A = this chain, B = another copy of it.
Amino acid sequence: MNEITDQLLHLVSDFTGSFQGAYNIREDGQCAGRQSTKNIRIESKQGLPGLEIHIAPGTKNETVYIPACVTHSNVDDLVYNDFFVGENADVTIVAGCGVHSDGEEEARHNGIHRFILGKNARVLYKEKHIGTGKGNGSRTIDPVTDVTLGEGSYLEMDTVQISGVDHSTRKTTGTLGPRSKMVVRERIMTTGTETATTDFEVTLQGKDSGVDLISRSVARGQSHQEFSSKIHGKTRCTGHSECDAILAEQGTVTATPSLDASHVDAALIHEAAIGKIAGEQILKLCTLGLTEEQAEEKIIEGFLK
């Protein structure tokens, strides 16, 4: 495992030299370390690059780490990881991704993650994306996440991308079974000429299923972000989506959230707000002794927390 991987792992998955429990480290398309545990079996996928991760029913308080790193330019890494989470399991999955480029060529990671949750299973899925290095070659991360929630199961997805990634296109789809719940918290900051696109599509298929989708983003520099979400309510269910974006410098944002109620007992709500930081907010912090720039940083920091 090279030094850049070590640094990237630290940034995306709080790596401090080792992982506790099950893990697989992917480095430039190769496996740089793997460990299964009694309850969590990590296997190479047959016929496609990637993993099959089987989490035994009833597994509690365990964490699976599957970070992926691209440490130089001219790499286009594509990986398929499938998670099968057994009934009543309650686990954390950490899938950070770091892309480093010091060269002129593109460095790209494209992770396709599928989650299949059994009855009453619970998953906290953490995904952190980062780009580093001084090369002109663009750093691209294009995650695809597909979630199938069994009866009464719960998946919380906590996804963060704070600068350094030149281009990202995130696609997240979910199909929710009876009484299952999906919560997504997305935080994105783009700077320079970065572009970030996120696209959510959640189908509330099972009775009393629910989704809560909260996206907070900051577009700075000349960066551009596009947010799109579709919530389909096909039965008695609740859906909420919220999209707040802060603009700074010449940043631009487009938000297109769609609600589709095809059942009388579907209750769907959406809110969106795009704008720059209110002058009063900045003024308030300036009276406390901060400069205008410091005040703006503070507000953005709090907003993305």
A: residues with CB less than 8 A from B are: 233, 245, 247-276
Indicate how many identical chains form the complex: 2
Q: What is the CB-to-nearest-CB distance from A170 to chain B, in angstroms, rounded to a whole number?
A: 18
Contact of A270 among B250, B267, B270 (CB under 8 A): B270
* Complex alpha-carbon distance, A40 and B127, angstroms: 64
Give 4 A-B pairs besides A252-B263, A268-B272, A269-B273 with Cβ atoms closer than 8 angstroms.
Answer: A261-B275, A266-B274, A267-B276, A269-B272
Contact present for A261 and B253 (CB under 8 Å): yes
- CB neighbours (8 Å) of A248 from chain B are 264
Which B residues are in CB contact (< 8 Å) with A250?
264
Task: Check B254–A260 contact: CB distance below 8 A.
Answer: yes
Task: Closest B residue to A256 by CB, please name it.
Answer: B258
List the 5 closest pairs (A to B, CB-CB), nearest first. Answer: A267-B275, A256-B258, A270-B272, A261-B274, A254-B260
Chain B, residue nearest A261 (CB): B274
Taken together as a complex, chains A and B put the C-alpha atoms of A14 and B248 apart, in Å, by: 50
Q: How far, in whole Å, are A270 and B266 apart by their CA atoms in the complex? A: 20
Minimal Cβ-Cβ distance residue in B for A258: B256
Report the Cα distance A34→B206, complex, angstroms. 59
Q: How far is the CA of A286 from the CA of B89 in the complex (A)?
A: 46
A303 to B276, CA, bound (A): 33
Q: How far is the CB of A246 from chain B (nearest CB, A)?
A: 10
A193 to chain B, nearest CB (A): 15
